[in-house]
Amino acid sequence: MALKTVPGEDQSPVDHTAEDTAVLADIPEKYKTGDKEKPWKYTDEKNNVYTYYANPMWKAAVFVLVLEMLERFAYYCLQPEYNRYLTNDTFAGMSVAEASSTIKLMTGLGYLWPLLSAAIADSFMGVYTGILVTSVVYIGALTLMTIAGSPSLYQSWMTPVYFFLWFPLGFGGIKSLVGTMGANQFHPEIHKDRLMSYWLKFYIVINIGALVSTAVNVYANTVGNEMWKPFSIPTVAFAFGFVAFLVGSWRYVKRKPLGSSLVQLLKVVWGSVSTCPPNLEAQKRGMGGKFPEAAVDDTRRVLNLVPLIFIGTFFFSMSYWQMDTYVLFQGYEMRPEGPGGLFDSNVLNSFINPLAVVFFAFIVERLLLPYLDRKGIVINHINKFMIACCCAIVALVYAAGIDLLLRSSWSPDRASCPSILLLSPVYAIIALGEVWASPAALDLAYRLAPPSTKAIAIGLHGITNGMVPNFVSSALSYFTQSLQVDENGCKARHDKDCETPLSDPAGKATWNYRTVNIWLIYVIAAVFPVIGLIVLQFSKGYYKRLMALHSAEGETGVEDGASEDDEGAKLQRRRSSTMGDLEGGGDSQVIGRSSLDASAGPQAPGLSGSAKIVELPVVPLPQSLSSSDRDRDRRQREEGGPGEDESSPSSPPNNPALIGSGHEEVA
């Protein structure tokens, strides 16, 4: 009989039926503690025993969510202000191109650190200690930025130290750990269906933090050069979040590090490329190599996954990251709205995009995908990426059109300039692309990666989604510098060589936005998603073969997109997390689904409306083991360890950072 998960804590009492009671009775004794408050336990592959609350969301994970909300609040308070800070002659005094490149390099470096911090946490200190260390680093960086925002305390060394070292270490280091820490509070088997609800809440608090930060951006418009005042707010807020996280310390499941597979993966790759010709299979012990068969197979699957992750995120992200630079700069030259012009480009940037993401996520998840399900239509990962690229093209073409309109009516006092509100569709259309691209990429990375390398796959997603696009965008900024200056060579309205002193109007050249070619930069940026559409179209065959191979290896009960013409397969192409068949023979069942990967199937009796049971084809498993149990058993046999027993159930992934039911920011 297949093991089922217990009902989620978000269900109402009327949702709990006699069948739910039977489900609880089906839970193996090895998962039970007999304690009412912490009724579940889990033993990992190194025989570390952990106990879990019956209601982990509000007993433990909520403290992690508070930290994430205030961390994102701090991040988005600062992000729109960097342009104003870096181009202010009181501080860094950079040109538009230099400021844009600095921000992109900082963001790119920040997206490199999640992979490294996850590896360090998995190998040495554990996720909890990793959060403590990176939080201290984060607070130190925010404190430095607060000091650097004071005209009397600013020193030239503060800018490179903050932007290229301290802040990337802080926000990048904590990025891959907070979500994992919250997910670790849920039992890997008993609470498996509740993770979908957790990731949705995780995504919601991210956007709450972003929306609330708008108030700080409005306040920043009133402080002039005293930028330390708005910079101090995120510093204090994150410190409160850190204290809230510490308050919950005694409640947490603090899983011990099991050793990272990143080092082993790199060793396998190095061993392969060191042979002539390169041969991955030759690295297996059975073929005369030095590595277990499982390690080589895991490496192969990760390497096969890299091209799909890259094309699924890079081309869209090249357009996404223009929001925080050129779209922001363009808004500075448009007419602000509201009392005293408080609703300006910074406020628009931090308000419209997160609000639009939440709105479109609701539309896609609750209305569009269920409708397509009823029609028997399934949108696979490749098609989702293509939709996102189309959104990016539309947004950039629209932004280019607005720029041409702005050039035709621009005036130095901005009185006759178009309203800043005309840029709202740019942020909204990009948000729609986010809703399609981001969760699909995370789901693809997490789904196809083997259990021992899921953290690596999520880290690779961050690199292709954040680091690489920002580095390329930074190089593009330098390449297009000539397009960002006016007819007098002025780089910005406040360029120190171009400002017009009130006492001597004819003393210097004046800034003239009419001759700045930002629209042409948008056209160049739009080339990337166009290329992405072409590459994605030609990648459909590779995607189908990879999904079919993954299905044949027993990780998935259905083939997502394996047969575009099979109408029956279309109705079963969505895969949810499977509990496996731990107890005996019979068909496996899945409870729960990805909120942006709507699955077909009958409504499960006694479960909430968002949960469905999907019948999966039977995959014969030796000794009635689930796929995760079987992988673990194979590894232990190869390493000379014990096989499967009651006291050592399968180990969960080291980093369950899948937003299966929500939408991760692309920030």
> DSSP letter string over 16-73?
--HHHHHHHHTS-GGGB---SSS-EEEE-TT--EEEE-SSHIIIIIHHHHHHHHHHHH
Q: Is residue 446 in some structural domain?
A: yes
- 192 and 46 in one domain? yes
Residue-number span of the structural domain to which 377 is assigned:
313-450+459-489+511-553
Q: How many domains does the chain fold into?
A: 3
- 413 and 396 in one domain? yes
- The amino acid sitting at 49 is V
Q: Domain end: 521, 553, 585, which one? A: 553
For the chain, percent of residues with pLDDT exceeding 70: 74
- 374 and 319 in one domain? yes
- 104 and 153 in one domain? yes
Report the pLDDT value the prediction gives residue 23, as an integer from 0 to 100: 54
Q: Is residue 582 in some structural domain?
A: no
Q: Give, in order, the Cα–Cα distances in Å from 29 to each of 33, 42, 585.
A: 8, 11, 18
- 151 and 52 in one domain? yes
- The amino acid sitting at 204 is I
Q: How far apart are CA 168 and CA 161, in angstroms?
A: 10
Q: Is residue 83 in some structural domain?
A: yes
CB 84 within 8 A of CB 224: no
Report the pLDDT value the prediction gives residue 36, as an integer from 0 to 100: 85
Report the pLDDT value the prediction gives residue 656, as an integer from 0 to 100: 36
| Residue from 380, 366, 530, 381 nearest 441 by CA | 381
Q: Domain end: 503, 526, 553, which one? A: 553
Q: How far apart are CA 180 and CA 254, in angstroms?
A: 11
- 181 and 79 in one domain? yes
- 418 and 333 in one domain? yes
User: Across the chain, what does the average pLDDT equal?
Assistant: 75
Q: Is residue 500 in some structural domain?
A: no
Q: How far apart are CA 313 and CA 457, in angstroms?
A: 13
Q: Is residue 245 in some structural domain?
A: yes
Write the CATH number for 63: 1.20.1250.20
Give the sign of the dihedral formed by CA 456, CA 460, CA 461, CA 466. Answer: positive
- 545 and 421 in one domain? yes
The Cα angle at residue 281 between residues 280 and 284, in degrees rounded to 5: 110
Report the pLDDT value the prediction gives residue 465, as an integer from 0 to 100: 81
- 399 and 483 in one domain? yes
As given in the structure block, the two tokens for residue 42 are 């889990």
- 335 and 225 in one domain? no
Report the pLDDT value the prediction gives residue 251, as an integer from 0 to 100: 93
Q: How far apart are CA 475 and CA 470, in angstroms?
A: 9
Give residue-wise pLDDT tens across range 509-535. Answer: 667 777 788 888 899 889 999 999 999
Report the pLDDT value the prediction gives residue 636, as an integer from 0 to 100: 54
Residue 214, Cβ density class (10 Å: 0-12 exposed, 13-18 middle, ≥19 buried): buried
Q: Is residue 575 in some structural domain?
A: no
Q: Is residue 197 in some structural domain?
A: yes
In the chain, what is the straight-line distance between the N-terminal and C-terminal CA atoms, in Å? 44
Report the pLDDT value the prediction gives residue 147, as an integer from 0 to 100: 96
Contacts of 457 (CB under 8 A, 6+ apart): 302, 305, 309, 445, 446, 448, 449
**Regions in the chain scoring below 50 on pLDDT:** 1-4, 7-20, 502-505, 554-628, 641-667
Q: Domain end: 235, 259, 283, which one? A: 259
As given in the structure block, the two tokens for residue 620 are 């014969």
**pTM exceeding the 0.75 threshold for the entire prediction:** no
- 381 and 254 in one domain? no
Q: Is residue 470 in some structural domain?
A: yes
Report the pLDDT value the prediction gives residue 231, as an integer from 0 to 100: 93
- 476 and 407 in one domain? yes
